[in-house]
Structure 1
Amino acid sequence: MRLLVAPDAFKGTFRAPEVAAAIGRGIEAAGLEPPDLCPIADGGEGTMEALVLALGGETAGATVRDPLGREIRAGFALLEDGATAVVEVAEASGLGLVAEHERDAEAATTHGTGDLIAAAVDAGAGVVLVAVGGSATTDGGAGAIEALREAGGLRNARLVVLSDVRTPFERAAAVFAPQKGADAAAVRRLERRLDRFAAELPRDPRGVPMSGAAGGLSGGLWAAFGAQLEPGAPFVLDAVGYDERARAAFAVVLGEGRLDATTLHGKAVFEAATRARQMGVPAHAIVGQDRLDAFGKRMLDLQHVLEASDARDLEAAGSDLAARLLSETRPG
């Protein structure tokens, strides 16, 4: 009985590989064979690590500007032969780089993300995957566009934006700016600023699904550089070979920090559970908090959902789940 352990990160607590490893230790302790560990992501934080672990590659770094213009070192990845790079917006323009008392949705810039994309192009990447979750910004990508133009543009490289939301450009301020420090008046100002900026771009990103991700960064890159916008979860699951690995498993064990109604809107766990159901592979979940109602669990067809708040709990939950599966498969 071999399980596939495919968790997303527990945001702000554990990286996806840490979650997978802890659950895996618990499963082995219960007497099952070592599971297949497959950390996943949805285009947010952790996407770069999930892709490097699955596909191989190396990390590199560059000096960039953080959301408030301060110089920092940020990382990006070069996959396999170096022809494809992965840039996470959170590395250069992330909310985690700004202390809570410093958050300023109107001042925050994506310039550093543009610096990081330019560094990936300088390193020889012909395709740059941009994972856009976790940003501190609502500038419509203005800073990133400026930085890329200062660096000489994309030089025949191609951008693919991996989005964890479907929000269009014109909704970016209303939906995301409040968590980035904007009050109601600031949201209105940001909406007006984004509208003006959209009208100045070579193409109008308003109304385009996923163009509002990272405060409109995805729409700005789409409009200025022809970036391809892709839902992050399906892209990552395809890249890590999830379907083939799930078919080879007795069951899949998913995970995320909080299982709730937002899980049903394109998150990695939703995509992974949906695929498992379509393949006829039982799915279970170990989560930090379970706030999804019974109807939502039926939609995902999750058979067991266990909670775990720390590394010890994750191991224990892995053991508990393994013991339940062993008990359920014993004759009689």
Structure 2
Amino acid sequence: MKIVLAPDSFKESMSASQAVAAMRAGVQAVLPDAQCVEVPMADGGEGTVDAVVDALHGQRVEVHATDALGRPVTAAYGHVPLRQLAVIEIAAAAGLELIPPDRRDVLRASTFGVGQLIRSALDRGAEDILVGLGGSATNDGGAGMLVALGAVLTDADGGPLEPGGAALERLDRIDISGLDPRLRDVRIRVACDVTAPLLGPTGASAVFGPQKGADPADVARLDSALSRLAAVTATTLGRAQPQRPGAGAAGGLGFALAEFLGAEIRPGAEEVAHTVGLEQAVRGADWVFTGEGSVDAQTVMGKTPFGVAQLAVKAGARVVIFAGRVAADASVLLDYGVDRLVAITADGTPLEEALRDGAVSLTRATAELCREITGADRQP
């Protein structure tokens, strides 16, 4: 029997690789002769670097960078030398969680640190860069990243703009002549589940600005500033697509990645699955076990278990989704070919206990499932 183990992380309890190990222990306790294929997964958010590095036997690279407010920070990204691949989570440098709540300032937060990570990846010879968007503190349309990579953004007097989205109100010119020439030969892929455009009521500022501390006046100001960025981009490049789905991701970073660096924006779980070779792994599989901390009806909107399930069903495998919490409305997943939904902790279990014992619970639940699907009566 071939069983593919492809979970995401169980937030605050297990990394994807730890979840794989827990599942493997459960399978082997009941089916010691089963072929377990391990493919830790992610959807482009937190845990993407670890999942890809573990799946492809890469390494983590630490870089001295700056956070969204320009403070020194040690940020890490993934590097897979054999594939000349780099994997970057933008939150490692421009993350909201890096800034204390009382220090957050969305008007001047910058993606400069993201550019530093990309530049380090280029220094290591990366020819393929996977960028996971999510968790940013920024709303600068990727301007800071462009500056870190050699672009110059100036006002009408020719002076450089200060960091942050608000400064884009005064943007007059973008000089890309100094943009790192190595970028021309690099493929950049963006793993992102946000489909928001850059501007307007469904754009970066209106939808995500308040989550980063923007009040209504800030939202209006930032949207106007990003509109100015789009206009100057069109003048600079001869075209611009601020309405592109995903352009508004990470405070407009998706816009800069697509327009200036030619990045491809695709659904996160789909892009990670492609990178780690999940489609090949599920071929010939009897079962595919996936999961994450919580599943509900929103899981079908592109979360990892849904993406894994779609590939598995297409390959003819049966799918089980494990989760710490399975909401009642998660039953909609059964309409998409998922065979079973398994909660690994009992209702009423205190959260602290559930998180602490997540690996043990997942191993137990996997073993019980294996006994059920095979009729095995061996005990773990």
Establish whether TM, by shorter chain, passes 0.5. yes
Structure 1 partner of 2:291: 255
Say if 2:179 is the partner of 1:153: yes
TM-score normalised by L of structure 1: 0.90
SS of 1:302's partner is: coil
- The one-letter code of the counterpart of 2:77 is F
Counterpart mapping for 1:186-201 below 5 A:
186-201=218-233
Deviation at 1:253, TM superposition (A): 0.8
Deviation at 1:7, TM superposition (A): 0.7
Percent of pairs identical after alignment? 38
- The one-letter code of the counterpart of 2:373 is L
Distance 1:127 1:249, change over 3 A: closer
Indicate if the aligned counterparts of 1:66 and 1:93 stay in contact, CA closer than 8 A: yes
TM-score normalised by L of structure 2: 0.79
Deviation at 1:328, TM superposition (A): 9.0
Indicate if the aligned counterparts of 2:284 and 2:317 stay in contact, CA closer than 8 A: no
Indicate if the aligned counterparts of 2:191 and 2:268 stay in contact, CA closer than 8 A: yes
Structure 2 partner of 1:209: 245
Distance 1:258 1:84, change over 3 A: same
Indicate if the aligned counterparts of 1:24 and 1:34 stay in contact, CA closer than 8 A: no
Q: Whole-Å Cα distance in 2 between the matches of residues 104 and 86 of structure 1?
A: 27
Q: Whole-Å Cα distance in 2 between the matches of residues 294 and 71 of structure 1?
A: 42
Q: Whole-Å Cα distance in 1 between the matches of residues 105 and 26 of structure 2?
A: 43
Q: Whole-Å Cα distance in 1 between the matches of residues 255 and 231 of structure 2?
A: 12
Structure 1 residue runs without a partner (length 5+): none
Structure 2 residue runs without a partner (length 5+): 153-177, 345-353
Indicate if the aligned counterparts of 2:370 and 2:376 stay in contact, CA closer than 8 A: no
Indicate if the aligned counterparts of 2:294 and 2:324 stay in contact, CA closer than 8 A: yes
Say if 2:86 is the partner of 1:74: no
Indicate if the aligned counterparts of 1:57 and 1:82 stay in contact, CA closer than 8 A: no
Deviation at 1:269, TM superposition (A): 1.7
Deviating more after overlay: 182-191 vs 44-53: 182-191
Deviating more after overlay: 146-155 vs 230-239: 146-155
Structure 1 partner of 2:374: 326
Q: CA RMSD in A?
A: 2.4
Distance 1:291 1:188, change over 3 A: farther
Structure 1 partner of 2:168: none
Structure 2 partner of 1:85: 86
Indicate if the aligned counterparts of 1:55 and 1:80 stay in contact, CA closer than 8 A: no
Deviation at 1:184, TM superposition (A): 3.6
Structure 1 partner of 2:24: 24
Corresponding residue pairs, total:
329
- The one-letter code of the counterpart of 2:360 is R
SS of 1:77's partner is: strand
Structure 1 partner of 2:307: 271
Distance 1:51 1:294, change over 3 A: closer
Q: Whole-Å Cα distance in 2 between the matches of residues 292 and 199 of structure 1?
A: 46
Indicate if the aligned counterparts of 2:297 and 2:332 stay in contact, CA closer than 8 A: yes
| Higher alpha-carbon Rg | 2
SS of 2:63's partner is: strand
